């Protein structure tokens, strides 16, 4: 594993995998996380796959995030758009640096929201995405060509942060763009459960 490195874009960790033919995972942490948070999950659900894990560059107090929000569930969409393009450029640069195919994003909460934004604004940078506790990132989502891209959305039925209808709206938006969307609702809250791990592993095995 490489130590966290700073580039012109993001502090990140790259962990090369033995299975170079499989798409790497782009790990995108939640609010207050960092570039190491999702490494254990990545190793668990996709053993042998390369892992690319950046740290969000926006600080909310002392907590890293991938884009600004104005309040709980209210996003600064101008900042979200700019940060999405910045992250997409980092992915493109990292693919050249580490000789990688297009990654599958695995994002949790804030990380899942910017992964959803990547699908809508820069779909060409991702092979697919697993969105854990995601909500619709845009009030009026842009149209995107997602033909053939696999997307897994895992929502919590007891999630106090994300209304069920918001996650469903995201699923419908991505499906309307041609994405192959599998939306599952688990009997849990905002945190991840063993059910998430099992579904993730099975979904990634089919990639």
The pLDDT, as a whole number, for residue 72 is 80
Indicate which residue of 76, 175, 182, 190 is catalytic: 190
d(CA 50, CA 112): 19
Alpha-carbon distance of 167 to 21, in angstroms, equals: 32
109 included as an active-site residue: yes
Which is catalytic among the residues 50, 159, 183, 196? 159
What whole-number distance in Å separates Cα of residue 58 and Cα of residue 140? 23
Structural domains in the chain plus CATH codes: 5-205 (3.40.50.1820)
Q: Which of 109, 117, 136, 155 is flagged as catalytic?
A: 109
Q: What is the mean pLDDT of residues 65-82?
A: 92
**pTM for the full model?**
0.95
Question: Does residue 76 carry a catalytic annotation?
Answer: no
Token code pair at residue 198: 């099992």
190 part of the active site = yes
Taking only the tens place, the pLDDT of each residue in 47-72 is 999 999 999 999 999 999 999 998 88
């Amino acid at each position: 594993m490489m130590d966290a490195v700073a580039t012109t874009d993001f502090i990140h960790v790259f962990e090369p995998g033995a299975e170079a033919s499989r798409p790497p995972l782009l790990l995108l942490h939640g609010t207050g996380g960092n570039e190491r948070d999702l490494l254990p999950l990545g190793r668990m659900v996709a053993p042998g796959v390369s892992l690319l894990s950046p740290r969000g560059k926006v600080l909310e107090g002392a907590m890293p995030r991938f884009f600004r929000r104005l309040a709980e569930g209210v996003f600064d969409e101008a900042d979200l758009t700019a940060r999405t393009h910045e992250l997409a450029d980092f992915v493109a640069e990292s693919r050249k640096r580490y000789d990688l195919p297009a990654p599958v994003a695995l994002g949790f909460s804030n990380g899942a929201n910017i992964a959803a934004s990547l699908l809508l604004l820069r779909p060409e940078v991702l092979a697919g995405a697993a969105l854990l506790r995601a909500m619709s990132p845009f009030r009026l989502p842009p149209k995107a060509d997602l033909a053939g891209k696999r997307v897994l959305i895992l929502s919590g039925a007891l999630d106090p942060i994300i209304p069920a209808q918001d996650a469903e709206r995201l699923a419908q938006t991505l499906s309307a763009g041609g994405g192959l969307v599998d939306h599952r609702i688990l009997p849990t809250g905002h945190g991840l459960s063993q059910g998430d791990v099992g579904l993730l592993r099975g979904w990634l095995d089919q990639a």
